[in-house]
Amino acid sequence: MKPLPTAYMAWLMMELWCAGCAASRRPSAPDVGAVVVPLLPAAPTVPAWTPQPPSPKLHIHVLDVNQGSATLIVTPSTQHAVLIDAGPRGAGEKAVLPALDNRLWSFRDIELMVVTHYDADHIGGADEVMAQVHVNRLMDHGDHAYWLERKGLEMAQYDAAMQATTIPLDFDETIDGVRFQCLARNNQTRFDEASDEVAPDSGNDNPNSVALLVSWEGFELYIAGDQTGSTEERLVEHVPDVDVFVMNHHGSSSRGSNGAAFLDALGPEVAVASMGQHKGHQHPDSEPIDHLLSLGAAVFITNANPYSAAASGIPEERVLDHEPSDYDGAIVIEVDAAAGEYTVQVGDARVTPRFPVGG
């Protein structure tokens, strides 16, 4: 037999290969008795869970400095600290510095420090703070050399730093989303007409106190040192409803502080009196406390004071320090804008009342 031609052999092999490919694509009949398992649709892919960071919060710490005032504000990013007053001598080291360095944050500088006026229970601790922490900007109502001498205060750190920035009446600045506005200082308000301008009080520094409105995402705080009726009366038509009011002059009614018309204008949901056990001052006074309660405000105080009938009537859970001989932390207001609410925590209390922002 003659061998097949090469071209024919190539054609034959190609045909056989194509037939095999077709057979491989043709479904085969199942064996008799075999179990056919249907194919199930693929399970949906579940994305990996990623923990969400907590929503930013504004922190306001009304510190226990016994008789005096110091309030620390930490902005929502926890990257900036603002200090309003520093309490009496000793409180800077024992109350303010620990508040700046704890498990939540550790500040080595203060973005803004505002001293409302030159009474020793508001400025006395400033040197102790400034000796340990750098203050980027220091502001007060002005005339610092006059008042330091008049008050007999030896404030080397403070005096050296005040080369000096008097807070302007139109001060309006935002730090990390938190707005700080000056409403009054040196016995003047930002709303005074030129013809109504009142000279600074050179005999008593309380009327010269710096008044600040602090705002963030609908929440508003009013704080003004030992502000008296002199400027309160001129602000009645201009202040907004606020959420929290750090009471003027430790809750006193002296020289018209915390007047009824002013409290009505503020309409605070929460009021905090920063005061100590002091027989001479007997803070807070009954008149403003009773009026705030009649407005439906929740009133908190930093220290028990048996010399004050009003303080004795405050519920125990709203009193920070029942034995005011040391420094027991702070009344902490924590504002959660995302939730539309804020809490007020008294020291280490487990129960933290909640209030609606703008309520």
Q: Give the tens place of pLDDT for each residue, 198-212.
A: 888 999 999 999 999
First to last CA, the chain: 109
Which one, of 72, 69, 157, lies nearest residue 121 by Cα? 69
Report d(CA 247, CA 296) in Å as an integer: 15
2 pLDDT band (50/70/90 cuts)? very low
Report d(CA 288, CA 224) in Å as an integer: 16
Task: Determine the average pLDDT of the residues in 281-294.
Answer: 92
Report d(CA 31, CA 64) in Å as an integer: 87
What's the token pair of residue 217?
A: 């995402």
User: pLDDT tens across 42-82, in order?
Assistant: 666 666 666 667 789 999 999 999 999 999 999 999 999 99
What's 1's DSSP letter?
-
Report d(CA 332, CA 346) in Å as an integer: 7
Query: Which secondary structure element, helix H or strand E, spans residue 156, and what is its range?
Result: helix 156-161
- The model's pTM is 0.84
Most confident option among 139-143, 146-150, 158-162, 257-261 = 257-261
**pLDDT for the residue 283:** 87
Q: How many CA atoms lie within 13 A of 99 on its CB side?
A: 32
Query: Chain centroid to CA 334: how far?
Result: 6
**pLDDT for the residue 46:** 64
35 pLDDT band (50/70/90 cuts)? low
Q: Does residue 85 have a pLDDT over 70? A: yes
Question: Which of 292 and 158 is assigned the larger pLDDT?
Answer: 292
Most confident option among 83-87, 141-145, 189-193, 280-284 = 83-87
Which one, of 106, 105, 123, lies nearest residue 114 by Cα? 123
Q: Which residues pair with 3 in a beta bridge?
A: none
Question: Which of 127 and 324 is assigned the larger pLDDT?
Answer: 127
**pLDDT for the residue 90:** 95
Contact 111, 80 (CB under 8 A): yes
Mean pLDDT check: name the lowest of 184-193, 248-257, 324-333: 324-333
Report d(CA 31, CA 50) in Å as an integer: 49
Name the residue type at position 86. Answer: A
**pLDDT for the residue 121:** 95
Task: Determine the average pLDDT of the residues in 128-132.
Answer: 95
Domains and CATH numbers, the chain: 57-356 (3.60.15.10)
Q: Does residue 220 have a pLDDT over 70? A: yes
Angle at CA of residue 248, ends 61 and 65, nearest 5°: 40
Task: Determine the average pLDDT of the residues in 99-117.
Answer: 96
Look over the chain and give the mean of its residue pLDDT values, rounded to a whole number: 87
